[in-house]
Structure 1
């Protein structure tokens, strides 16, 4: 388990039972009726502030260069140096290595869960299916292995002494979006075949879950996993000259970071730090009430909105609302991909960390020196905008009232005209009746 980054003495904030390593006091989870879970801020966030540090629940190496393979110990995840690395004594897979004896010993229970499975199935899956399918299944196995290791520790030392929190962490995995309805029938059918062939509970993989639950876990993993890259993802506007994020070296599932939605105009950059933890950093000033969004892909590769929208539809099952296409900082609900995301490894700032009530009281005032000039200008514009909107609403009401008065006057004139006509008809009828009476008397 990675070392926690303690910012203050007050408790860390949890999100739906999930315990990230660090979360900004103003970063909160909310639910949108259309998009589902999302991150918003309850107070102003200056550019460059660290918003989230989230450790992976499961991570696998994907780099073809053996020199860049990361340590298999989930508490480490650092690149393993050739001179010090240790391979699995059972030679289950060349990608399974540790950066030293300490990490290997610490990872025995977790790796023991996956070792037999890797030795038996890694080769056949790669030969018969694909490298991508193997990576997907290995992520699932490592999710199950991490859960197994946590439950094992809990059974030995008890709930009070355990350093792991399986209920909290696995709750984060359970709450990930994604189901068989998210994906095409062909994909679900293919994954179902893979589950029945390679992921059923057995002596080689004793997870105790049913086939349907494991299939659901694949749907969740495919909708929420991140790719890890050496440089940041999500710089907006794209710098000139553009700098891409580099080649992917790992894939991971992050229970908390997965809450973030996509925007083609992101206000967060993200990249994994040296421990594989996903770090979110504000790429600009973020104002109270704004949603915090990342980019699910490298913006330098898709430079215009049309190509980005097409890529989102093809790769992320993305549904775009056309009336929002040209608006800045608009996020849409979609799904991530194991090959398409990362985070930022900048330093974590000192700050106040407290409960939800505490964090609502620590937002800087508009004239505070901690608020940038851009924020002050924004606040002034917002106030002016509010008064303008109030005046416009009053004008609209006045215009509506004038219209109603004019309409009432027209109706009144019409009624008066009808009354005059009726009176005239009555007068004419009396004259006729009177004339008729005289004729009868004659």
Structure 2
């Protein structure tokens, strides 16, 4: 599309809505909304191609779905082409971490949003490497936070997820960005929001975990020094 056929407006009785600014015909495309990141639901992974997110023609025979080349048994594909595309862009980073994510809890909801967060981080790596899609990560940080409304139990759940995702950044993503020691901190900051009103959440009782993360970082480069 070369022009916008709708305008964003606010109506007292409707709230935010889209209003056509010209005559439209049946079949016209008015809006294309591209997600920054997308992953299949963990409960549907056997039926949906992890790359094109289409329901496979083999859905009645899941054993015919193609698996990861490793294989990790967490992603399935409708074709060799999709497997290759997904490996090149995402799965080569995420593959070895999926066991850890899928073992988080018995609740599919927690696993699903953690997988989505991990995909957002992987996409952010491509943004930094100038291999991005047309969707900006800045759109992610404009979403409304409900952090103050969460229970302590929910916040503790988020802490667990945050630790896993931090490890994922340090182990799987940062090594693709740093060429020398001076780039380490800059690389980490690339995965953080740049808004001044972003909330900082303190992770309590994390000395042992933090020590493990520092050790993982030191494995990248024996000369790296991290002050905590």
TM-score (norm 2): 0.59
Aligned with 2:110 (options 89, 111, 133): 133
Q: Distance in 1 between matches of 2:40 and 2:54?
A: 11
Q: Which residue of 1 aligns with 2:17?
A: 39
Q: Give 1 or 2 for the bigger CA radius of gyration.
A: 1
Query: What does 1:154-303 correspond to in 2, within 5 Å?
Result: 154=130, 164-165=133-134, 168-181=135-148, 183-186=149-152, 189-200=155-166, 201-204=169-172, 206=174, 208=188
DSSP-derived class of the 1:169 partner: coil
Question: Runs of 5+ in structure 2 lacking a partner?
Answer: 175-186, 200-228
Q: Distance in 1 between matches of 2:132 and 2:39?
A: 23
Distance 1:32 1:88, change over 3 A: same
Quote how far apart the aligned CAs of 1:96 are. 0.8
Q: Distance in 2 between matches of 1:132 and 1:163?
A: 27
Quote how far apart the aligned CAs of 1:106 are. 1.8
Distance 1:191 1:47, change over 3 A: farther
Distance 1:191 1:178, change over 3 A: same
Query: What does 1:278-357 correspond to in 2, within 5 Å?
Result: none
Please tell me whether residue 102 in structure 1 is matched to residue 68 in structure 2.
no
Q: Specify which structure has the bigger relative contact order, considering alpha-carbon pairs within 8 angstroms and separated by 6 or more residues.
A: 1
DSSP-derived class of the 1:89 partner: coil
Quote how far apart the aligned CAs of 1:187 are. 5.8
Q: Which residue of 2 aligns with 1:59?
A: 38
Q: Distance in 2 between matches of 1:50 and 1:66?
A: 30
Please tell me whether residue 145 in structure 1 is matched to residue 122 in structure 2.
yes
DSSP-derived class of the 2:159 partner: helix
Q: Distance in 1 between matches of 2:45 and 2:68?
A: 15
Are the aligned partners of 1:110 and 1:149 in contact in 2 as well (CA < 8 Å)? Answer: no
Q: Deviations over 1:100-129 (max 9, x none)?
A: 121222222321222122133322x135xx
Say which structure is richer in strand: 1
Q: Which residue of 2 aligns with 1:421?
A: none
Q: Deviations over 1:262-315 (max 9, x none)?
A: xxxxxxxxxxxxxxxxxxxxxxxxxxxxxxxxxxxxxxxxxxxxxxxxxxxxxx
Q: Which residue of 2 aligns with 1:351?
A: none
> How many equivalent residue pairs?
174
TM-score (norm 1): 0.33
Are the aligned partners of 1:91 and 1:119 in contact in 2 as well (CA < 8 Å)? Answer: no
Distance 1:53 1:135, change over 3 A: same
CA RMSD of aligned residues (A): 3.8
DSSP-derived class of the 1:53 partner: coil
Q: Which residue of 1 aligns with 2:210?
A: none
Q: Distance in 2 between matches of 1:101 and 1:59?
A: 20
Q: Deviations over 1:383-417 (max 9, x none)?
A: xxxxxxxxxxxxxxxxxxxxxxxxxxxxxxxxxxx
Q: Deviations over 1:315-371 (max 9, x none)?
A: xxxxxxxxxxxxxxxxxxxxxxxxxxxxxxxxxxxxxxxxxxxxxxxxxxxxxxxxx
Question: Runs of 5+ in structure 1 lacking a partner?
Answer: 1-6, 14-24, 155-161, 218-442
